[in-house]
Chain A
Amino acid sequence: MSRGRLLHLFAIAALAAFPLAGGPFYVELVGKVMILAIFAMSLDLLVGTTGLVSFGHAAYYGIGAYALALLAPRYDAANLWATLPRSILAAALAALVVGALVVRVKGVYFIMVTLAFAQMAYFVFHDTDLGGGSDGLSMSFRPVAQLGPFAVFDVSNPRHVYWFILAAMVAVAAFIRIMLRSPLGRALEGIRSNEHRMRSLGFSVPRYKLASFTIAGGLAGLAGYLLAMQGGFVNPELISWHQSGNALVMVILGGRGRAHAGIVGAFVFVALQELFQSLTTHWQLPFGAAIILLVMLLPGGVLGGVARLEAALAARAARRRGAAGLVEEGGHE
């Protein structure tokens, strides 16, 4: 068994065992971090894999969450197995419609247009009565995980919710891994590194971008669904542009385009946030300064920094052994 796979199994086992040791507050917090990890992984599919910088990804996160709140019957519990696919579908559909408009524009336009459409979604939920206006909606009943006569797990038990979120995160990571190895994933990476070449090779670049945008939107919708399920309420702040900005920060913290960038980024992000919040109520001041420093000093994110450190250590060890030849420097994409 390779070192990487062993590390994965160890990390999953540690996360799975956590609720047995951690208190209820931390079980909920780590659950929330894993939801953010799914959200960040979905964004990295656009930013890291396809090379599309979306500043409006929170729209699909919020739509996934609102879909559960709107699909749930008022005086009864919704069925998880019925509402989950529909919520993902709703988010993917919204991404398909917006994507059809935005994949035609490039670079800096793409950033501005995705942000503007996310803001439009924000106003739809904030200004109209569709989703309870600025107060949002709260659900009286959590969805139940009843599958025929079997209760697969108990949604009122926070540990069960935690394990369900963990399973979803692992499933999304596996899905993205498989997707990246498929012809679709290869084509998306090709588009990131050289769009013109892909076009000359006969690939329909806008269609591939649209596929990437739609899949990323659907996965973000899954994250939003889980958040609504865990918290039991939704409000327009889920779609605010801060959410989109924070997700981008997570992707960068993790090191965009690297495997597990979203997961590492989400954990580092929340750790930093908790740290600064414990120090001062004006936590955004050191947090903003940390983001600025990150951009100026660590272009490859935390994982990129670790890779560079490892490469430097390996180079030193190689020199010590007196090995001749160049050691390839890490930290590049």
Chain B
Amino acid sequence: MDIASLLIQVLNGVQYGLLLFLVASGLTLVFGVMGIINLAHGSFYMIGAYMAFTLSSLTGNLFLAIALGIVLSIVLGIALEWAFFARLYRRDHLEQVLLTYGLILVFEELRSLVAGNDVHGVAMPQALSGSISLTSVLSYPVYRLFMSGVCLALAGGLYLLIHRSRIGMMIRAGASNREMVQSLGIDIQLVYRVVFGVGVALAAFAGMIAAPVSSVYPGMGTQVLIICFVVVVIGGIGSVWGALAASLLVGLVDTFGRVLLPNAAGLSVYVVMAVVLLWRPEGLFRRAA
């Protein structure tokens, strides 16, 4: 492997890892703050991708579609939190798993009713469809660089939200002691609703910007969900920065696994997970967020 193709694989791995981070950070935040394991989190990624497909064919502009999609996904998140998740806080994990499993079935079937079971492509915006040439034969698409840049910016924004804002202080306090926060007069329900809405929006956004690269297809939600579980197990649940490091690790391992061991492409990340479990069952990073 020469240096240019190595660079391409590293960029691909980082880009995939950053995309995973957008989904995994919501998953880990919702668990860390609200104590809920949400299997339907991958469905939000799928819903985002299908919104990009439907809205961009309606409006003819991916950026407009994404803007609309973000608003819709926040509304969806708040509605779901109000209708279902608010009832799950004190229930055990098994009931959370089942209810969110039911939600996945409902979302998948609604997707099939609205958009069918075919694979659809989403057009890349004209301005970002070019590529940068690295050598005379190899080049790297601008859109993937754009994706990595946006994901990095969002990761920075998430850091500011959690560590430098008032609501972030409430989120961190709510994660460590719910009763204490409530007795200080903070509306914990509102905090939870914000966290859940942000989590849904991040996952849906990841689906929207990934749509032109990955195309949209049935089952994309669960695929990303299970990889995000691997990320969360490696990073340590509840830790947003653990999720960032683990996402990058999983992104790189998966990308290089596909290049170096094409016959066992899907397996490499699970092997890494098994090693981490043997070495540090609590994940590489203890709860820090």
Contacts and interface: CB of A to CB of B under 8 A. Distances in A.
Contacts of B37: 108, 111-112
Interface string B117-141: 0000000000000000000000000
A47 B103 CA distance: 21
A325 B108 CA distance: 51
Interface string B36-61: 01000000000000000000000000
A119 B226 contact: yes
B109 A116 contact: no
Interface in A292-306: 292, 294-296, 299
B272 to A, nearest CB: 11
A248 interface: yes
B265 interface: yes
Contact of B277 (A105, A249, A290): A105
A248 B101 contact: yes
Nearest to B271: A120
Interface stretch (B66-74, B177-185, B203-211, B229-237): B229-237
A115 B105 CA distance: 17
Contact of A113 (B94, B267, B273): B273
A55 B277 contact: no
A323 interface: no
Contact of A116 (B84, B94, B101, B270): B270
A127 B270 CA distance: 14
A127 B267 contact: yes
Specify the main secondary structure of chain A where it touches its partner: helix
B94 A241 contact: no
Contacts, number: 117
Contacts of B274: 101, 117
A109 B84 CA distance: 22
Given A105-B281, A113-B273, A47 B94 contact: yes
Given A105-B281, A113-B277, A282-B109, A292 B102 contact: yes
A285 interface: yes
A116 B266 contact: no
B252 interface: no
Contacts of B113: 282, 285
A288 to B, nearest CB: 3
A1 interface: no
B31 interface: yes
B109 A284 contact: yes
A252 B94 contact: yes
A285 B106 contact: yes
A317 B110 CA distance: 47
B277 A123 contact: no
B265 A127 contact: yes
A192 to B, nearest CB: 12
A256 B94 CA distance: 10
Contacts of A241: 222, 226
B97 A117 contact: no
Nearest to B228: A112
A116 B273 contact: yes
B277 A288 contact: no
Contacts of B267: 120, 123-124, 127
A249 B102 CA distance: 9
A107 B281 CA distance: 12
B71 to A, nearest CB: 25
A318 interface: no
Contacts of B87: 296
B275 to A, nearest CB: 10
B97 A55 contact: yes
Nearest to B238: A108
A291 B277 contact: no
Nearest to A120: B270
Contacts of B230: 116
A111 B93 contact: yes
Given A115-B226, A120-B270, A282 B112 contact: yes
A203 interface: no
Interface string A93-120: 0000000011011011101110111011
Contact of B102 (A108, A120, A288): A288
B187 interface: no
B1 interface: no
Interface of B: 31, 37, 84, 87, 91, 93-95, 97-99, 101-106, 108-110, 112-113, 222, 226, 229-230, 232-233, 237, 263-267, 270, 273-274, 277-278, 281-282
Given A241-B222, A299-B95, 6 more contacts: A47-B94, A105-B281, A123-B270, A256-B94, A288-B104, A292-B102
25 contacts: A55-B97, A105-B233, A109-B237, A111-B93, A116-B273, A123-B266, A241-B226, A248-B97, A249-B101, A252-B98, A285-B109, A285-B110, A285-B113, A288-B104, A288-B105, A288-B106, A289-B102, A289-B106, A291-B102, A294-B98, A294-B102, A295-B95, A295-B102, A296-B99, A299-B95
Q: Which 8 A-B pairs have the closest CB atoms?
A: A288-B105, A291-B102, A123-B266, A120-B270, A288-B106, A285-B109, A292-B102, A112-B229
